Amino acid sequence: MDRVPGKKILIVEDSRLQAQIAADILSRHGYMTEIALTAEETLQKASGPECPDLILMDIDLGEGMDGTTLSRRIQQVKDIPVVFLTAISTREAVEQVRSVTRYGYVLKGAPEHVLVSTVEMALKLHEALSLAQMYRRIVEGSLTEVYIFHPDTLKFLAVNRGARENLGYTEEELLDMDIMQLMPEFDRERFRSLLAPLQQGEKEKIIFDAMHRRKDGSLYPVEAHLQLFGHGKDGIGVAFILDLTERRKMEEKLRQQGEFLQSLLAALPVGIFIIDPASHRIEEANLEAAAMIGAAPEEIAGRPCWEFFPQSAGSCPITVAKEEVDRSERLLRRKDGLEILVLKTVKRLRTDSGEKLVETFIDISERKHLEEELYRLSITDPLTGAYNRRYFLEMLEREIERTRRTGHPFALIMLDLDHFKGINDRFGHAAGDRVLKSLVAAFKERLRKTDCLARWGGEEFVILLPETGVEGAATLAEELRQKLSEMEIPGVGLVTASFGVTGYHPGDTVDAVTQRVDSALYRAKGNGRNCVCVGGPH
C-alpha cells in the first residue's frame, strides 16, 4: 500500500510509554506525531488550526471519559478519522468501536505492520469518503440540471437541486417519473435509439438540443449531454442538462459586443489566438501575437494551432478536449523556428458561430531563465559548482525512501582532502580554492548524471550513488582516489584525499548513514590517509 507521508497523527493514550511506542513506529514510516494524555488536551488539539489528519485513540482512557464518548465529541467539532487502540477484541468491544467510527481498531501489541497498515487504510478511506461527499455536494449544488437514470427503464434514480428548482417538482415526484415525461418530443422508442450508440460503445457522449417541460406545463430549451457509466449490474445513465434560455440572450449580447471586442484584441499587450476547436485552426491573431511569432496576422489566420504550440504532430490535445488552461507554461514556436517560453491561458467562449477557444500568452523566457538560475544557485556551492549540503540531504532523504520502497541499493562516498590546511597556509587560500575546484571538475567527468556530488563542508565532499552496492562504490572510490593523487594542481602540485564508503542498511536514517560513512572516512585518516575504508558490513 502506498505510504501517506507528511500526515499528522494524534495519539491519545493515558500511558505516555504506550503512546511513545506508537509514535516511534509511525514516525519511522514518515508520519508526524503528537501525543495527548487527556480528553481536554485531545479536544483542544482536534479543534485547533493545526488539527491532526487522524487520531489513534485508546478506547479506555481511564479518566471518567471513554474513547467512544470522546470520539463523538471530536466529530461534533471536526471530521477527523479515529482509529481505536484496544487490549480486547470481544464482540461487545468491536460493536462499541463500530458505533462511533468506520475506521476500525488495532489491538495493543499488534505487529508494527498491522498498526501502520491500519493507519494508512484509515487515511485512504477518509480521503475517499471526503472526496465522495465533496462530489455529492458539487453535483447537488450545481446549477446545471443533473439526472441519473436507469438505462433500460429510463426512470430517474437521482436528481439534483438544480433540476428540482428549474422544473418545480419535488424529489419524490421526479423519482416516480421517467425521461419522456420531461421531454415531450421523445417517445420511448426514439429515446432508446438515441442511447443505442452509447450502449454499443460507438460513442462516449451524446449531445443534443431538446425542450424541457416544467411542472406548470411551460417549456424551455435545453442542451442535453448523455453518458453511460458502469455501475452495478445494469449501469447508469447520466444526463447533464443546460438551460439554453439565458445562453441565447447572451449570444445576442455577444453579437452586439463584437466590434468592441475586435478593437480590444488589437490593443491588448498580450498575444491572443481565437481558435475553432473543431478544426484546430486559428481564426484570428492579434498584433502582439503576430509580433511574438514574427509573422503578419493574416499569415497566422487559418493555420493549425499546433504549428505554434507543438504538442504532438498533427494534433492539439487542448482543442481536442476543449480544455481550459490557467497560466500554463508552454513553448511557442516562431516563424523562424525558434521556440520561446510563454505563460498561456486557454478559455472557452461561446459565440453566435459556435464555441471558440481564446488563447492568451505572454513571453516569460527571461523570467524563467532568472528563476532557473536562482534555483541553481540555491542548490549549488558557489565556489566549486558541486551541490550544497542542504540539497544533498534532500536527495539522500528521497533515495532512502526509494530504497525502502523498491529494495534497490545505494551507496555513499565521503572524502576529505589530506593536509588541506597546510595547502592554504603554504600556498594561500586562492590555491586552496583551485584545489577544490579541480577536484570537483575531475570527479564530475567520471560520475554519472544520476550521481550527486556535494560539498559537505570545508574540504569534505560526499557522493550519493543510486543503484550502486558497497563493492561498486568502493571500486569507484579507489578510482577517484588514484585519479586525484595523479593530478598536478597548478601552483600546488600533487594532493591526496582519504575516502570513506558505506551502503544503505535496512532501517537507516539520514543521520545513521552519514555518521557511518563519516566514521569510515576517519578510519581512512587514521590508517595513514590517501586510502579507502568501508564502513559497516558489506
Q: Tell me the CATH number at 426.
A: 3.30.70.270
Which of 376, 380, 447 is CA-nearest to residue 413? 447
Whether 384 and 324 share a structural domain? no
pLDDT at 254: 66
374 close to 389: Cβ distance less than 8 angstroms: no
Whether 127 and 235 share a structural domain? no
Q: Indicate the range of 48-62, 251-265, 358-372, 480-494 predicted with least confidence.
A: 251-265
Which CATH number characterizes residue 206's domain?
3.30.450.20
Q: Identity (one letter) of the amino acid at 76?
A: Q
pLDDT at 322 over 60: no
Whether 156 and 133 share a structural domain? no
Domain containing 48 equals 8-138
pLDDT at 497: 97
pLDDT at 11 over 50: yes
pLDDT at 321 over 70: no
Place 1 in a pLDDT band, splitting at 50, 70 and 90.
very low
Which of 474, 472, 466 is CA-nearest to residue 401? 466
Arithmetic mean of pLDDT, 225-248? 86
Answer with the one of 138, 164, 199 that is the final residue of a domain: 138
pLDDT at 454: 97
Which CATH number characterizes residue 55's domain?
3.40.50.2300
**Is residue 222 in some structural domain?**
yes
Look-up of cell digits 527571461: 366
415 close to 499: Cβ distance less than 8 angstroms: yes
Whether 386 and 510 share a structural domain? yes
pTM exceeding 0.75: no
pLDDT at 330 over 90: no
**Is residue 374 in some structural domain?**
no
**Is residue 251 in some structural domain?**
no
Helices and strands, counts by H and E, the chain: 18, 20
Answer with the one of 331, 366, 401 that is the final residue of a domain: 366
Please state, in angstroms and rounded to a whole number, the distance separating the CA atoms of residues 420 and 426. Answer: 10
485 close to 494: Cβ distance less than 8 angstroms: yes
Whether 334 and 463 share a structural domain? no
Q: How crowded is residue 367: how many other Cβ atoms within 10 Å of its Cβ?
A: 12
pLDDT at 4: 54
Whether 312 and 435 share a structural domain? no
Whether 346 and 414 share a structural domain? no
pLDDT at 538: 46
Which of 485, 471, 516, 518 is CA-nearest to residue 499? 518
pLDDT at 419 over 50: yes
Whether 354 and 423 share a structural domain? no
Arithmetic mean of pLDDT, 452-472? 96
**Is residue 282 in some structural domain?**
yes
Whether 208 and 339 share a structural domain? no
Q: Identity (one letter) of the amino acid at 453?
A: L
Q: Which three cell numbers stand for residue 26?
A: 509511525
In the chain, how many domains are there?
A: 4
If you average pLDDT over each of 43-52, 321-330, 430-439, which comes out highest? 430-439
Answer with the one of 138, 154, 182 that is the final residue of a domain: 138
Place 371 in a pLDDT band, splitting at 50, 70 and 90.
confident
Whether 125 and 194 share a structural domain? no
Q: What is the DSSP string of 81-126?
A: -EEEEES---HHHHHHHHTT-SS-EEETT--HHHHHHHHHHHHHHH
Whether 348 and 225 share a structural domain? no
Arithmetic mean of pLDDT, 457-478? 96
**Is residue 347 in some structural domain?**
yes
Q: Residues 94-135: pLDDT tens digits? A: 777 777 788 888 888 889 898 899 899 988 988 888 887 887
349 close to 265: Cβ distance less than 8 angstroms: no
Please state, in angstroms and rounded to a whole number, the distance separating the CA atoms of residues 241 and 214. Answer: 13
Give me the count of residues in the chain: 538
Q: Indicate the range of 67-81, 97-111, 300-314, 315-329 predicted with least confidence.
A: 315-329
Q: Which three cell numbers stand for residue 85?
A: 487502540
Arithmetic mean of pLDDT, 437-452? 96
Whether 496 and 390 share a structural domain? yes
pLDDT at 210: 92
% of the chain surpassing 70 pLDDT: 94
Place 67 in a pLDDT band, splitting at 50, 70 and 90.
confident
**Is residue 255 in some structural domain?**
no
pLDDT at 160: 92
**Is residue 414 in some structural domain?**
yes
**Is residue 254 in some structural domain?**
no
